Structure 1
Amino acid sequence: MTVLGAVFRPQLPPERLRDIARTAEDAGLDELWLWEDCFLESGIASIAAALAWTERLRVGVGLLPVPLRNVALTAMEAATIHRLFPGRAVIGVGHGVQDWMGQTGSRVESPVTLLREHLVALRALLAGERVTTDGRYVKLDGVALDWPPSTTPAPPAVFAGATGPRTMRLTGEAADGTVLTGGTSPDEVRRSRQLIAQGRESAGRTGHHPVVVYLHTATGPDAEARLRAELDTLGDTWGPDGPYGVAGSAETVAGAVLALAEAGADTVVLQPTADEPDPEGFVLFTAAEVRPLVPRDE
Structure 2
Amino acid sequence: MTGLGAVFRPQLPPERLRSVVRLADESGLDQLWLWEDCFREGGISTAAAALAWTERVRIGVGLLPVPLRNVALTAMEAASLHRMFPGRPILAVGHGVQDWMGQVGARVESPVTLLREHLGALRALLAGERLTRDGRYVRLDDVALDWPPAAAVPVLAGATGPRSLRLAGEAADGTVLTSSTSPDGVRAARLLIDEGRTSAGRAADPHEVVVYLLAATGPDAAARLRTELAAEGLASVPDLGVAGDADAVAKAVQRLADAGADTVVLQSTGDEPDPEGFVRFAAEQVRPLLP
TM range (shorter): over 0.9
Aligned to 1:105: 105
In structure 2, what residue type is equivalent to 1:48? A
Shift of the alpha carbon at 1:243?
5.7
Aligned-residue offset at 1:173: 0.1
Q: Which stretches in structure 2 are left out of the alignment for 5+ residues?
A: none
Instruction: Give the CA RMSD over aligned residues.
Output: 0.7
- Give yes or no for contact 2:183–2:239 (8 Å, CA) kept in 1: no
SS in 1 for 2:180: coil
Q: Determine if contact 2:180/2:234 at 8 Å carries over to the other structure.
A: no
Match of 2:257 among 239, 252, 261: 261
Percent identity, aligned pairs only? 72
**Match of residue 161 from structure 2:** 164
Q: Distance in 2 between matches of 1:242 and 1:121?
A: 38
Answer yes or no: is 1:62 the counterpart of 2:59: no
Q: 2: CA distance between counterparts of 1:25 and 1:71?
A: 30
Give the Å deviation of 1:242.
Answer: 3.4
Q: Counterparts of 1:90 and 1:150 in 2: how far apart (Å)? A: 15
Q: Residue in 1 aligned with 2:290?
A: 294
In structure 1, the residue corresponding to 2:7 is in which secondary structure? strand
| CA distance in 1 between partners of 2:187 and 2:232 (Å) | 23
Deviation at residue 208 of structure 1 after TM alignment: 2.2
Match of 2:51 in 1: 51
Which SS does the other structure have where 1:37 is aligned? coil
Instruction: Give the 5 Å matches for 1:116-131.
Output: 116-131=116-131
The corresponding residue for 1:250 is 246
Paired with 1:80 and 1:207, the residues of 2 have a C-alpha distance of 25
Q: State the TM-score, normalizing by the size of structure 1.
A: 0.96
The whole-number CA distance in structure 2 between the counterparts of 1:141 and 1:171 is 25
Residue 150 of structure 1: how far off its partner (Å):
1.1
| Distance in 1 separating the partners of 2:39 and 2:205 | 37
Q: Aligned-pair distance for 1:27?
A: 0.5
After superposing on structure 2, the runs of 4+ consecutive aligned residues of structure 1 that deviate more than 4 Å are: none
- Which residue number in structure 2 is paired with residue 31 of structure 1? 31
Looking at structure 2, the residues matched to 208 and 292 of structure 1 have their Cα atoms a distance apart, in angstroms, of 26
Structure 1 gap ranges (5+): none
Q: Secondary structure at the match of 1:90?
A: strand
Quote the residue 1:230 is aligned against: 228
The question of whether the paired residues in 1 share the 8 Å contact of 2:30 and 2:58 is answered with: yes
Letter in 1 for 2:20: I
Q: 1:266, CA displacement in angstroms?
A: 0.3
Structure 1 equivalent of residue 148 of structure 2: 148
**Which AA in structure 2 matches 1:232?**
A
User: What is the aligned length?
Assistant: 290
Q: 2:175 aligns with which of 178, 192, 205?
A: 178
How far apart are 1:211 and its partner, in Å? 0.1
In the aligned structure 2, how far is the partner of 1:213 from the partner of 1:236?
Answer: 17
State the shift of 1:66 in Å: 0.2
